[in-house]
Structure 1
């Protein structure tokens, strides 16, 4: 082991770039998260995958930007539709 190492040309960040997905921090209502987790468990998939699919479906409906209020409405509609089954 050397006494000193030269990191002057070192770069911060991931060694391999991420492709297709970005890690973010987001606050979700507890009941929304619980509903997606329950549904994911029943379907045998991940809740984040289901949330991503719901967001993609909502964006496919129109070209308007998705607002926080619209996202809440869509998620509540999905939860209501699923709980009625």
Structure 2
């Protein structure tokens, strides 16, 4: 099969996206953040509504961590 025909058949990009008109992209713009360990998490809409800010999410997760630690500390040691 001809490479041009094969490329056309596998092209899933919508016709309204003209890549020749795209300008200003910077390769590696966020690499330093990535290497620093920045974490991005997409929250489900219901969770985002309950915890609308970064601080609210962090506070809730820290509280959950405390509860989990206390629960683990109170577990009896099973002798098998």
TM-score scaled by length of structure 2:
0.37
Larger radius of gyration: 2
TM-score scaled by length of structure 1:
0.35
